[in-house]
Amino acid sequence: MPNGDTVVFFLRIGAMYERKSGWSLPQLTISAPPDRPIGYGAFGVVWSVTDPRDGKRVALKKMPNVFQNLVSCKRVFRELKMLCFFKHDNVLSALDILQPPHIDYFEEIYVVTELMQSDLHKIIVSPQPLSSDHVKVFLYQILRGLKYLHSAGILHRDIKPGNLLVNSNCVLKICDFGLARVEELDESRHMTQEVVTQYYRAPEILMGSRHYSNAIDIWSVGCIFAELLGRRILFQAQNPHNLCRTMPLRPVKPKAFTISSLLGGTPKACTGWHNLCWAEPLRPAKTAIHRHA
């Protein structure tokens, strides 16, 4: 079979995309309409589709209006670059990118990724019971994926339950790299303040810091850990100022059973959570957390 055969996806939204594949495929054109939408967000919609090349179920993400403004361009470019570059069991990666047949139609991008059945937010708000083993497995995978990203000098900057995809085998993958960036070591260089969903923002961001480290991702993990234990968002307020006032900014040591009664977890697990939510620089490093996960 010759290489370079054309694979065509006919999408319900009306756009036709072609891609010259490097794989060996039969010489035919197959239509593959999306089966159902599985996720929505501010920057696109994700569909469950069947790949006509091998019959496997995959996820197809539509990124609309990618050239609407410079901010959109940067976000899409960052996400595509990281989806294509990173290869790790706990980090989502791109399987393919569907290209438009002509530059005149290049207003949106379609990315094919592995299909994940759910995300951590849906699991937390569901009636499905979570055992301590579930919490351990999820937390370990989050930290494992973050260790990989941080080792490459990347800040995710939007770690939250909705960006942690989970499949039917409880395999977890970090996704959505639109806000991710290379860590800035020069403290004189300012970084974006409006990052991370508010409930998972570290105190240094809420208080207006223009330079921060990968410790902001670790804070988000601490919030998610508590949310897994208590099945509710840990820090909630109407604005960043009030939210910051609810947070522990110094290492106090309340009794483990007190935290346990609040969050619904074991005393040992709750003590581990409390360590994650110390203010920077007392927050433990990613390597130390991963070692004890």
69/202 Cα distance (integer angstroms): 28
Q: Are 38 and 48 in contact (CB under 8 A)?
A: yes
Handedness of CA 4, 61, 220, 144 (dihedral sign): negative
Q: Under DSSP, is residue 6 helix (H, G, I), strand (E, B) or coil?
A: strand
Considering the candidates 96, 158, 176, 217, report the single residue annotated as catalytic: 158
Binding residue per annotation — 173?
A: no
277/222 Cα distance (integer angstroms): 6
Alpha helices in the chain (DSSP H): 70-85, 120-125, 132-151, 203-206, 215-230, 240-245, 256-263, 267-276, 286-292
Q: Are 199 and 124 in contact (CB under 8 A)?
A: no
Residue 96 bears catalytic tag: no
| Residues annotated within a binding site for ATP | 61
* Residues classed as catalytic: 158
| Residues annotated within a binding site | 61
